[in-house]
Structure 1
Amino acid sequence: MSEASPPPNSTSRGWRPSLNLRQGEGGLVLLGMLYHFCLLACNYILRPVRDEIGSAYREGLAEAWTWVFFVMLPAAPLYAFLVSRWPRRVFIPLVNSFFLLCLIGFAWLLEWLPEDSRQPLEWTFYVWHAVFNMFIITGFWGFMVDLFHHEQSKRLFGLLFMGGSLGGIAGPLLAGRLVEPFGRTGLMVVAMVFLVGATCTMLAMDRTALCSRRLHSYEDQKAQGRQAPGGGVWQGLAVVFRSPYLLGICGYLFLHSLHSTFLYFTKANIAREAFVDRAARTEFYANVDLLTNALTLLAQMFLTAKVLKKIGVGWTLVLLPLLSLIGFAALGTWTTLAVLVSFEVLRRATHYGLSKPAREVLFTVVSREQKYKAKAFIDTVVYRGSDVTSARLFEGLQAGFGFAPLALGLQGIAYCAVPLAALWALLAANLGKQQVRRQERLAESGIAKPQS
């Protein structure tokens, strides 16, 4: 006699409705969470190594950011070209294998080269990490979009974010604990393990999806009208300059980048003075990432949706500029490690937990064509260009732009950031008002969301 199946409301199935999962989705989502976990754990193990290099060779940091800009300009279209030639299930393992070989090379050369000959290799790793980060994260979300259709993405992507957030905690936790006994080479080996784990999980996810017939091909996406419109950097430039609203978003991102860069360079200076030992400095960077990611996870779980609903997009966008204004004023008054860490952790957690989600809402009131073409321009020229410009501005202020009596210390530069933060807050408030007006016009015209 066969055993009777449990009723639908039994506790054995009680977890599925609570997580908003449907029949057959649990395995895919679990693998997706593990995939995202491994990727971000890998990335955040390597990130303190990268940041410590910037602090150790502080004088060349602005030059390195310039190299990152010029390397990333062709990297973004190269990624788009490769994805257009191969399915992501083929492209991602190949790219991950390439990055794995790079890590093996970096680890071996760090062990083999004498310490006084490592600087060119370390700067190469610094620039390489930017490309690595872009390829693995963009590849992950591209694969998820291919895998899950629009209705599923709204229900399930929050769980995928949670897997990544946990990886963002595990990575710096491991880096901070392992750098002293095993050194940077040991951290690279651990990162390799996570990168291999991410690749294996991605392949298992692909096989599971094919077996359950849930993988959507390019033709299916195109037929359903979900294929993203194409658009290169220069097409995005034209779209942005025709829209005052998109120009405002670019201005917001530029001021965000400027304050982030000023804080990053200040941290590099203070960390180099506070920690002579490079392993201790790497551990410091890992601990800052750990605190930031843990606080970000709490903000995403308990604050993001409530704050956006309570005070709206505009005021949510204003929070980060106001925090930056207060933080830089405090840093100008007390240029200490404790003030720096407190400001850095709160600012980055506010960015990832509140400001970034609110910023994405700004794009919900423009057409899909404007969104994708503008993002191609924003994610390369505006984002990376702002980094380089801000880095050069910081260096110029420190050097007095070639006139020594005008040179500013870290305190003076921090005070210079304060009025710029006030300007940033005003721009954020204005963007929030424009977003509301656009949304109201769409509602009056009976369009739930702009189409193109």
Structure 2
Amino acid sequence: MFLFIKKLKDRYISAKGNFGAYNFKKLLLLGGAFLFIIATYSVIRPLKTSVFLGLVGKDYQPYTKIITIFILIPILFIYSKLVDKLKRHQVVYYFLTFYVVTIIITALVLMHPTIGLSNTATSPYRIFGWIFYVLIDLYSPLAVGTFWAFANSISDTEDAKNSYGKIVAVSRIGGIISPLLSWFLLEKINMTYTKSIPIILIVSAILLLFACLCIMKLKKSIPGYLLHGYEAVYQAEKQKEKEKKVSMIEGLKLMVTQPYVLGMFSLVYLYEAINVILDYQMQVQMSIETNNAIVGMSSFMFLYTASFNGLSLIFSAFGTSALLKKMGVFFCLFVMPISTILMMFGLLTRPNLSTVVVIMVILRALHYGFNAPVREILYIPTSKDIKFKSKAWIESFGRTGSKVAGSMVNVFYSGTAYLILTRINALLIIGLSTIWTIITLFIGKKYDKIIKENKTIGEE
């Protein structure tokens, strides 16, 4: 590992001298910060599912998405205000610190004898189960999304092609180690889960502090002129600061009025809708197989998370940067929807739980290791308001709105026989993926045109 890092550093320096050395340091610190963010996410996300199913019950999971929609609206207005008042790196600090405090508090509550894990009764009236699920569900748009908004704002397109795959690859190491260690603590250490799960949560919260330290070190050690990002956006933002203040709904307005941004919303929406349909199908079967036991479900989810992160590491380390440099962003955008269609034809031929699990591992690995970093590059030629505010609306409402739609599909077909349900879902997903492919064609062409003309989206 250290030999690989040394070779990578030498290659950066030999190519561009001191400029290359600074770029390597930026890559290393961004990768380190994202490693800790994903290490935390790879623990809290599995626990979000198992704790909710254990406290509240599997039949109520689809309704969490509807609740999240209503909570998101005031949160996003607060987020927009913070983006106006704070510098880019300070927005990252704010949300990472928020989750440090939030996760520690939830860990302490889970240790309570009646509110927490010691109470084994499953009921929709276990209010904390709902709160825990919604808080962790918002981690992706607020913590992960804000990190990428910051990374996009300090990177140009060539920098992104060279580094985003590597940043994701580094982060997957955390995504493999943290769930495996959590699984080991749950299964192999002589400790009750009522103690081990809160300990896992507290450690995961502490990891986020290291992510903050990486961003802090980056800001102090990298010269400011190397953090301008896409130069056309930087110059437009400097001019905009002199001219006017923007409103709190600017992000939503840009998302609705800019076809390019609305297209990016569609990319997120369609992937998440597909994901939630298959994910819920897998989780219901997991709940049945483990008798809804929190330990059994948590262990399964930790191993599942480590599996797709391991495969994601391979995709991001050996495929993402290489394909981006060789084929370009336009071609790479089509990999995910076309792969999804092919996998659904496979599910139609073998409609069983094992196939669903294998497809979910591949689908998530391909998304996190390849599709997500490619999609992030689309934000680079956009204004700060789009990078932060519109992105927050896209990541939150795109994800949550699609999950509501996917959950309603799951509720509608909840009484259907498993074999029939699997085939219905496969056909539905093929249809959604076809729409995804058509939208990708528009987005890819628009991105290439903007880059070629050295323009900025959102500053017209």
Fold shared per TM-score above 0.5: yes
CA distance in 2, matches of 1:219, 1:246: 22
How far does residue 64 in structure 1 lie from its aligned partner after superposition?
1.3
TM-score (normalizing by structure 2): 0.76
**Alignment partners' CA distance in 2, 1:67 and 1:260:** 19
Instruction: Provide the residue aligned with 2:401 in structure 1.
Output: 385
Residue 86 and residue 356 in structure 1: after superposition, are their counterparts in 2 closer, same or farther (change >3 A)? closer
Contact in 2 for aligned 1:394/1:413 (Cα 8 Å): no
| CA distance in 2 between partners of 1:144 and 1:439 (Å) | 18
- Per-residue deviation, residues 262-291 of structure 1 (Å, max 9, x unmatched): 111101111012222431221111111111
Query: Residue type matched to 2:72 in 1?
Result: M
Superposed CA RMSD in Å reads 4.2
Partner of 1:106: 109
In structure 1, what is the equivalent of residue 16 of structure 2? Answer: none
Match of 1:189 in 2: 199
Q: Deviation of residue 79 (structure 1)?
A: 3.0
The equivalent position to 1:53 in structure 2, one of 40, 51, 54, is 51
Amino acid aligned to 1:106? V
Query: Is 2:361 the partner of 1:345?
Result: yes
Cα distance in 2 for residues equivalent to 1:115 and 1:44? 25
1:34-92 C-alpha deviation (Å, 9 max, x unpaired): 43322222221222111223544111011112122222332233234345445628635
Instruction: State whether residues 43 and 191 of structure 1, in contact with CA within 8 Å, keep that contact through their aligned partners in structure 2.
Output: no
Alignment of 1:135-146 (within 5 A): 135-141=142-148
Distance 2:264 2:211 in 1: 36
- Aligned counterparts of 1:217 and 1:358: Cα–Cα separation in 2: 22
**Aligned AA (1:51):** T
CA radius of gyration, larger in: 1
Amino acid at match of 2:287: R
Residue 231 of structure 1 deviates from its aligned partner by 6.6
SS at match of 2:111: helix
Aligned mate of 1:320, from 317, 322, 336 = 336
The one of 9, 14, 25 aligned to 1:16:
9
Deviations 1:106-129 (A, max 9, x none): 332265752227833222211111
Secondary structure of 2:453's counterpart equals coil
Q: What SS class does the counterpart of residue 115 from structure 1 fall into? A: coil
Structure 1 residue 35 and structure 2 residue 33: aligned? yes
Q: Distance in 1 between matches of 2:408 and 2:250?
A: 27
CA contact (8 A) 2:263 2:439 kept: yes
Q: Is the 8 A contact 1:321 1:422 kept in 2?
A: no
CA contact (8 A) 2:186 2:299 kept: yes
Contact persistence 2:152–2:387 (CA under 8 A): no
Aligned amino acid, residue 395 of structure 1? V
Q: Higher mean Cα deviation, 239-248 or 413-422?
A: 239-248
Distance 1:255 1:412, change over 3 A: farther
* 1:164 corresponds to which of 153, 158, 171: 171
Output the CA distance in 2 between the equivalents of 1:194 and 1:282: 15
The number of equivalent residue pairs is 430
Q: Which residue of 2 aligns with 1:427?
A: 435
Shift of 1:397: 2.5
Identify the match of residue 208 of structure 2 among 198, 218, 234: 198
Partner-residue secondary structure (3-state), 1:421: helix
Q: Does 1:395 align with 2:411?
A: yes
- 1:366, 1:450 within 8 Å by CA — same for their partners in 2? yes
Counterpart among 256, 263, 268 of residue 271 in structure 2: 256
Note the alpha carbon deviations across 1:208-240, whole angstroms, 9 max, x for none.
Answer: 754x47468999999755579987785455545
Name which structure has the greater RCO, CA cutoff 8 Å, separation 6+: 2
Q: 1:173 aligns with which of 180, 192, 198?
A: 180
Distance in 1, matches of 2:311 and 2:424, equals 28
SS in 2 for 1:116: coil
Which TM-score applies when normalising by structure 1?
A: 0.77
Amino acid at match of 2:406: S
Q: Residues 80-159 of structure 1 correspond to what in structure 2 (within 5 A)?
A: 80-85=80-85, 88=90, 91=94, 94-109=97-112, 113-116=118-121, 119-141=126-148, 154=160, 159=166
Segment drifting more, 100-109 vs 308-317: 308-317
Distance change (3 Å), C-alpha of 1:37 and 1:254: closer
Unaligned runs of 5+ in 1: 1-11, 399-406
